[in-house]
Amino acid sequence: MTVLPVLDSAGRRRSPATMPGYHAGQSPRNKGMRYPADPPTVEEIVAVMRQVGTDRHGARLCAVIVVLWRGGLRIQEALALTERDLDPHRGSILVRHGKGGRRREVGMDEWGFEQLRPWLIEREQLPVGPLLCVIDGPTRGRPWSAAGVRVEFRSLAARAGVRRRFAPHQLRHAHALELVREGVPLNIIQRQLGHANLGTTSIYLQGIDTEEIIAAVHARRAPMMPASAGLRL
């Protein structure tokens, strides 16, 4: 029996790789790969944000960077947000379906909400749907894909001259490290990130530089004892 080729809407032969089930049973190429905790610095993130442009595509890119960086969300959590999940007055974001289906509220600072405002204005002109949605074409208003975000991030980082991996999860790592440096207790960081245990949270803190650890411990005050006891050993 002759199998007729499958054609796309333009009448061209479709590649087998585009057909459903083509990759079934195959492991992803990056399966088992682990990337080191190497979050971007504040200067690098701001440099990337300066590359987004001033149109609505730029406003959307700025919005997703802010939600990941200043709210510490996972990329899928960010892409599932709706406008009603934001509460600027309380400074909170509602994550309805976190990892494992867990629901939680997280905090975000006023500066972060200010950076979201241009996109919120643009979002009102698009069909009802997720907060971070497709802007153009027949699927406008539909969910934006994580793969699409990653492609945009790589391009922005290259234009900004950031010579390290710049991915959505790296911004979440940056969020956790900044909270530690600001003195936020570890159990609050755990709740903010939506981790089931502190062991997972501690992995996010591996990006602390060795020199930073040495400087912090070296700067400790001398041991304090009652004057009557003396410090002679």
- pLDDT tens figures, 5-46: 666 666 677 677 666 666 667 766 656 555 556 889 999 999
Say which of 57, 99, 150, 154 is annotated catalytic. 99
Say which of 74, 123, 173, 175 is annotated catalytic. 74
Q: What would the mean pLDDT of 156-178 be, rounded to a whole number?
A: 93
- pLDDT tens figures, 177-222: 898 888 888 889 999 999 988 888 887 777 666 666 566 665 767 6
For position 3, what pLDDT does the model report? 57
Does residue 8 fall inside a structural domain?
Answer: no
Does residue 13 fall inside a structural domain?
Answer: no
74 is a catalytic site residue: yes
Say which of 56, 104, 150, 169 is annotated catalytic. 169
**Residue 110, domain extent:** 42-208
Does residue 28 fall inside a structural domain?
Answer: no
For position 134, what pLDDT does the model report? 95
Does residue 224 fall inside a structural domain?
Answer: no
Share of the chain above pLDDT 90, in %: 57
Does residue 222 fall inside a structural domain?
Answer: no
Say which of 60, 173, 175, 195 is annotated catalytic. 195
Does residue 5 fall inside a structural domain?
Answer: no
Say which of 60, 173, 175, 204 is annotated catalytic. 204
57 is a catalytic site residue: no
> Greatest CA separation found in the chain?
100
For position 198, what pLDDT does the model report? 84
For position 21, what pLDDT does the model report? 66
Distances in whole angstroms, Cα of residue 222 to Cα of each of 213, 217, 231: 17, 11, 10
Query: What's the structural domain count of the chain?
Result: 1
Does residue 4 fall inside a structural domain?
Answer: no
For position 131, what pLDDT does the model report? 97
Q: What are phi and psi of 95, to 5 degrees?
A: -100, 105
Q: What would the mean pLDDT of 114-130 be, rounded to a whole number?
A: 95
Say which of 60, 123, 172, 173 is annotated catalytic. 172
31 is a catalytic site residue: no
User: Which of left, alpha, beta for 101 (phi over 0: left; psi -120 to 50: alpha)?
Assistant: left
pTM for the full predicted model = 0.77
Does residue 141 fall inside a structural domain?
Answer: yes
169 is a catalytic site residue: yes
For position 113, what pLDDT does the model report? 95
Q: What are phi and psi of 104, to 5 degrees?
A: -155, 160
172 is a catalytic site residue: yes
Say which CATH number the domain at 59 has.
1.10.443.10
- Secondary structure string (H, E, C) spanning 190-219: HHHHCCCCHHHHHHHHHHCCHHHHHHHHHC
| Whether the predicted pLDDT of 75 surpasses 70 | yes
Q: Give the C-alpha separation, 48 to 71, whole Å.
A: 17
